[in-house]
Amino acid sequence: MRRPTATVLVAVYLVDGSRSRPATASSWGLNRLDDLPRSGTPPSVFGKFAELANQWNAKPTPDATALARRLIEFRQGCAAIQLARDLPLPADDIRWLKLRCADWAARIEEHLRTLEETRDTEGVQASVQLTIADIVLELTTRSRTT
């Protein structure tokens, strides 16, 4: 049976799709929509998204609890993007980003499920590193092609 682990926690932290979130929400990564360049070009916005996603690497996750918390926080960022009403991008780029973000969120949730089932912190961390690298690559590539 699939548990809605991250999804339920994300719903608790986010407020009605706006960019403002309660102080308890994560303040790193994709949650930092306020850091996007409001008057920037799509390449600069996607470049900033890549930078934000890469913040995953800024904090160690030495145990299963820390890794789970970090996964949930990253997943919150995907929800923030999905619910945002004012992303500084053209409509086609927003559609692309939201579709990709849904896929990334599913991958993050799968990592969380694996961690909960196996407690294999090292193995899950290695898999997450690959996922984050893929996300950063996709965003960087998009920044160069828009």
Under the banding of pLDDT at 50, 70 and 90, the label for residue 4 is low
In this prediction, residue 128 carries a pLDDT of 98
Average pLDDT, the chain: 87
For residue 58, give the DSSP letter: G
Residue 49 in domain: yes
Of 8-17, 36-45, 120-129, 136-145, least confident by mean pLDDT is 8-17
pLDDT in tens, 26-73: 689 999 999 999 988 999 999 999 999 999 999 889 999 999 999 999
**What's the token pair of residue 80?**
């923030």
In this prediction, residue 12 carries a pLDDT of 43
In this prediction, residue 112 carries a pLDDT of 98
Tell me which amino acid residue 56 is. Answer: W
Residue 60 in domain: yes
Residue 47 in domain: yes
CA distances to 8, 31, 48 from 52, in Å? 23, 8, 6
- What percentage of the chain's residues is helix, strand, coil (to nearest 5)? 70, 0, 30
Look up the domain containing 135 and give its range: 5-15+25-145
Residue 97 in domain: yes
Residue 93 in domain: yes
Residue 20 in domain: no
In this prediction, residue 13 carries a pLDDT of 42
Under the banding of pLDDT at 50, 70 and 90, the label for residue 17 is very low
Sequence-ordered alpha helix ranges (H) in 84-120? 91-118
In total, how many domains does the chain have?
Answer: 1
Distance CA 35, CA 120 (A): 34
In this prediction, residue 2 carries a pLDDT of 52
**What's the token pair of residue 106?**
């599913």
pLDDT at 19 over 50: no
In this prediction, residue 44 carries a pLDDT of 97
Q: Please calculate the CA angle 132-136-115 and round it to the nearest 5 degrees.
A: 10
Residue 32 in domain: yes
Residue 39 in domain: yes
